[in-house]
Structure 1
Amino acid sequence: MNISQYKGSIMTGNMTLCNLLKQGAVLMVLLLVVSQSSFSQSASKTKDDWCATDEVMERYERNNPRVAAERQRKEQQITKLIRRLREEGRVDEYIRNNNVRLKIPVVFHVVYNDPSENIDSTKIKKQIERLNKDFQRLNADTTQTRSVFDSLAAGIDFQFCLASQDPDGNPTNGITRTPTNHGDFGQFDSVKYTNQGGKDAWPQEDYLNIWVCRLGGFVSGYATVPSGLGGLGDGDGIVMRYFDIGGNERTLTHEVGHWFNLYHTFQDSCNGSSNTDCNVWGDEVCDTPQQGSSSAGCDSTLNTCSETPEYPDMIENYMSYADCQNMFTKGQKLRMLVALNYYCERFDLKYSNACGGPPDKGYVKSYPFTENFENDYFAPQFWRLSYVDGRTWQEAEGTGGFGNSQKAAKAEFYTPSQNLNNYSYAMTSQNFDLTGVNKPVAITFSYAYAPSTQSNHDSLFVRLDTNQCGYIYDQIRIWAKGGDGLATAPATQQEFVPQSSEWRRDTIRISNFPSDTIKFAFAAEPKAQGGNNIYVDDINIFIDTFATGRAPSVNANPQQLQVSPNPSNGRFRIRSSLNETKTDGVEMEVYNSVGELVLHENHQINSGGLATTIDLSQYADGFYFVKIFNRNHQLLAKEKLYKLSDRD
């Protein structure tokens, strides 16, 4: 669901400009429009508009349709995953595997025009303490949660800390202070930029940026939500009104909830009240009762929507507008953990050492490295899974490589009645630091696969990944097998579970790395309906100190394709001067931005190079990535495409 569909957005929400006009409050609207800054910061808070996240994100997505399209695609995948987890009874398993203690480095940028706005560090430290208690459910007012909701309440194992290291590696107290001549900043993000009277952000992949300033009007704060495509860059973070920091209010808790992808509890009014559509409509969380509208105060008799089973409005929830907030729910916890894995700008926080952790947090620097998936949780720490249609790699018990262990990683493709054609499921490792390595690196791993039919073409790829977000556009293929070439056991119509003799081991040796820091991605791709499972185990990465001569080199600088028009309404002309593979031809693959393979074609190279046209008109607007490989699976050329339906 697009963030602009929020209940409360400037286009559709409760108590927004349109509603006020309908109610005849013309004078108030004119005052707000003409001079928001004319309202004193000490004015009492109006609970119907104190959070401006909806309006800010609606405006941002309206002005950035590419980001809006990417977020919508991501949200569709999140919805499918959560629905599947609920249907299969695997919610608790997912939470258990992903609920590792996450330290979130926070930097407060205090931007002040008057000394009274330059808030004391004691208030900021108190606010961090408030965040930790609220998220971990250590707050003293948990006793105020009504019994009907008590079993739904959940703590989230996030630990917020003031950053102890700045982006240059220098010690810091996690607070910057910037005097300004700017008046009320309002909701237009100028506080986030030094050249506009504010303060530039610290890198979003390492810090949660919180700006504290004079906002104007009744707004207490607003947040950006995760968006994909690397997030909102320098604008990612939270803006807070200066005197709402350091007290007992939950405004910042509420905004951090948005930052981790939570909607308001009154999202979409009473839509989504049934158990079948609760994770599609409303706040897309099934254990938060729907609310017909936002509500201030603490009225325990409120029940604005009819649903089955019947619940009162959850005025205790941090994502409501009520005055007695004291809880998140298990469903909200699940949604935040899913967002942490789906959106790279949140996932990358796992690597941050800005809270004072080791400088190589999440980085492998000593070799050999081994991963055999025998941990109590899956995926391994710092590894990232990509989900398509609610599916991804998962832990398989009792099936370790060659019978030597109890667990392996499994791409679950055994779906006799479902067509998974052209999906790509990636399991991407943590970072490997190869600084100073001048010998080939060897990767050995075990795999097992049995096709469901002789004509099945499920495939397994190993790729080098040099991009933190794991976009397939930036990945370099180094190994690929499919169909009979991948099979380690005879075809079977039954779900494949490998015996100890049905495993195979392979080794890849590579040199000429595209970067000193790389990841390895194992990508499984089903090519036909009725696929079967692929297993991977016993991954070992080491420096091949006994190698003689050079290992096969990775093409770190593939040619750029000539594409026109770009953007296009779906039809793209592709040209390239490729001439090294005239005999064998090339393979062309097109992926969407979440890694789904949408097009695969074989082409011959003529004397003039490659010239062809591809048609993506049947697919959704957004980014696509086209790649050209030779028959040895070496990447020759690539380019990013952008489809926009309103282009001629």
Structure 2
Amino acid sequence: MKRTMLSIMAVFGLITTASAQQATQNQIDPQNCRQGESVEYCRQHTYHAEMLNNPAYVQSLADDDAIRAQEQANGTPDNGNIMYIPIVFHLLHNNGPEFISDEQILDAFEILNRDFMLQNADANTVVNAFNASNPQAWAIPDSVEIQFRLATKAPDGTCFTGITHTVSSATNSSNDNTRINAIVNGNDVYNGQWPGNRYLNIFIAGDIGGAAGYTYLPSNWIGTGMDNGIRILHQYVGSIGTGNAGTSRALTHEVGHWLNLPHPWGGTNNPGVPSNCNDDDGIDDTPDCQGVTSCQLAANTCSGDNGYWGFDQIDNVENYMDYSYCSKMFTPDQAQEMRDALNSSVGGRSNIKSASNLALTGADGNLTLCDAAFSVDRTSICVGESIQFSDDSYNAVTSRTWTFQGGTPATSTQENPTVTYNTPGIYEVELSATDGVTTDVETKTGYIRVLANGGAVPVLEGFENYSSLDNITEWEVVDHGNNAEWELSSTTGLNSPKSVVLPNFGQSAGNFDELVSEPMDLSGITSQTSMTLSFRYAYRKRNTGNDETMKVYVSNTCGETWVARKTLTGPILGADVSSSSWAPSSESDWVTVHMTNITSAYWVDNFRFKFEFESDGGNNVYLDNINIYPGSPSDNLVASIDDQEAVDHITLYPNPTEGDITVRFDVTSAQAVSMQVVDVTGKVVNTSTVNATTGANMVVLGTDAMAPGMYFLKIDGSNTSLQFVVK
């Protein structure tokens, strides 16, 4: 039948059942999921069915069909020239797994172009009934002859890469308007509308209401606004990173909808419904089918034919518009339908591929240099190590010149050079890029931090010798959210004027901030000696609902890799609340943590540690008197054993444990506290002595040397013996 009848046909097929088939956001319909997946593969048909309850929408569809028919009657024949569509990827993330790389997005872009131009090698492997090598097959894989180009000009003319980034918790919102408004108001290129008749907007997020992807068929009802685009989960973008080969064709599927292709089973909501055999997609050369959710290559779900084949043809399971994992083709009639849609004014599609719009959006193929830019694999290294630089300049670079202060080589013309730094210091890097006409320079001052060889322990850091944490090699401040960051406090310390503070009050939830140490030399420690890392912190919540976390990581690779060795979270971090910006005012506000799980694997000459704080909208946190030393003695004043006072409020967690165990206790004055772990036979398996300070103390005990079983913790100064289990 004629494709122009689909919209009217869909009304009769769906309007009586639309109310029963409406999908609530985040309410998953298992029948609409692909086999083995927990999200609905596509919601285009579901939202279409919901809108069919509106008589005005139904009338608009009929009007759209009339416009298409008139345009095709008056238009010139389609000669098969390649048509181009400017595309923009809008990545909405909150620094979680949905913060995918540009490389993953570009991989999706390449797959999309490959699929639409029939350059995918797997098209040669379709089953014989649809294979080009079969002389009796005519619904064979076909090129749509549509290509996609990354837009390089924003609506205000700003030059960019074709990718925008927006940091917002809206990435996990099931509300479409919330997500799009976050992008409109917060992306890093242009804040405003990106019209849907000028750009194909792809919105990538961590949640789109329980679907893997969806969009709308072109219609003047939907219009040409920014929401006339495609929504897709990050796991369904590309074949690398968080994506994979099995999910990488989801974008091809959604662009098919955006260019007026329905699912091959026609107008009903879900695949696998027997009544789909009585429906149709309006595309002649796609056989009638019920739709599949896996890769059933021999499936023949509808008997008879659709008046086109003349025999009972098997399903075209490998069609991009079905739900199979093995999709790899469009049919010739599908290709023509998409070209017709792109040539139509309905939904603004014809404007998007016009020569004037391609020039306006920077997608006409005439690329010029926008910006010199570069990145590195890491900015902080130890003396003698190397850094890999990457030229990220866009959009056209013919040559470049690098200048590396303090590096070897000092200059380079390579695209991605490797540079070695042999002298401690903080260094500048400059990149000058050109397209032969325009030259741009990117300079990053204080960008590379080269750390001196580690000093010997013990080390006691009270922050008294600094006026600022800026441009020093002893401590590195890392701010992942461009918000509050660790800084020096010159007025609030533990028994001294200074400490470091993260001014977390007023910072939004989800921010990560790090304070990273310089290297330290632990290589001289003998195997008979233990290591202790202790620190003091002061913290308040802003309200009882705050659930914030501070972790301590250690590294035996000068910070190239990290392992978490201590986690303080929720009420363990602190339960007291202050509704205003808080600072400690007495010694009792400070908690002492002793970590004795710095095992011999970390006794190297470039040992480093760092504090990471994850915000949940709480209050300020302070650090002071960070102390790393072999064994239990330190420079702190320690009371003699005879003068020890009682040890109270002893708790340990987690219990049972599969890793380290944390012991928390209070003392009324600074003293050495000895702890002993014995097994059920009374054998001593661990002995530790820590320098406890007045108030609350925490000690992390490693259990690597303990076999699974029951143990008892005994602490001098207490009559309590605590039982715990190692799994």
Q: Decide: shared fold, TM above 0.5.
A: no
Question: TM class by shorter-chain length?
Answer: 0.3 to 0.5
- TM-score scaled by length of structure 2: 0.40
Higher-RCO chain (CA-CA 8 Å, sequence separation at least 6): 1
Which has more radius of gyration?
2
- TM-score scaled by length of structure 1: 0.44
